[in-house]
């Protein structure tokens, strides 16, 4: 036998070895028998993050059909609703239903691109669109 086996044999034959092995085995089994306590799961809705979470007005310039539009976006305090204003620099926007459809597409597309989380879409709040002073104002949310 080599020196390693002799050392192991000498160790195993030493006084108190079986007591030490029994204590180690008991501790190992005790640690495995009782699962570790898990902290309670607390589910909270994450606050909206991003540059629009602060409630300040942010203005984005958008080009649609060769014309520039200025879309102002502001998140309303303590809600997931955004106030939007669409204006055209140097010209007044019309107030017809057709104009509303175009302006709403511009506003919702801009909101979805800049403020909604990935995979979410923008949805207009029904009957919130108003035309005043050559610009459109409306409210929308990300869904």
Judge whether residue 11 has pLDDT over 80.
no
Closest to 129 (Cα-Cα) out of 113, 118, 140, 142: 140
Judge whether residue 61 has pLDDT over 80.
yes
Q: What pLDDT, on the 0 to 100 scale, is given for residue 97?
A: 92
User: Domains (ranges, CATH) in the chain?
Assistant: 58-142 (3.40.1720)
Outline where DSSP puts E strands in 40-97.
58-64, 67-75, 81-87
CA distances from 28 to 24, 25, 33, 35, 38 (A): 6, 5, 9, 13, 20
What is the mean predicted confidence (pLDDT) over 39-52?
55
Mean per-residue pLDDT over the chain, rounded: 80
| 79-136 pLDDT tens trace | 889 999 999 999 999 999 999 999 999 999 999 998 888 888 999 999 999 999 999 9
| 28-37 pLDDT tens trace | 666 666 666 6
Q: What is the CA radius of gyration of the chain?
A: 34
């Amino acid at each position: 036998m080599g020196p390693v086996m002799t050392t192991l044999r000498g160790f195993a034959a030493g006084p108190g070895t079986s007591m030490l092995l029994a204590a180690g085995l008991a501790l190992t089994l005790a640690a495995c028998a009782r699962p570790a306590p898990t902290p309670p799961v607390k589910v909270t809705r994450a606050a909206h993050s991003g540059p629009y979470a602060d409630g300040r007005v942010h203005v984005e310039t958008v080009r649609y059909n060769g014309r520039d539009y200025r879309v102002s976006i502001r998140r309303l305090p303590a809600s997931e609703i955004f106030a939007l204003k669409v204006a055209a620099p140097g010209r007044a926007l019309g107030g017809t239903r057709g104009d509303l459809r175009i302006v709403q597409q511009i506003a919702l597309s801009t909101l979805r691109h800049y403020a909604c989380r990935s995979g979410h879409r923008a949805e207009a709040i029904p009957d919130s669109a108003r035309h005043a002073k050559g610009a459109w104002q409306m409210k929308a949310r990300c869904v």
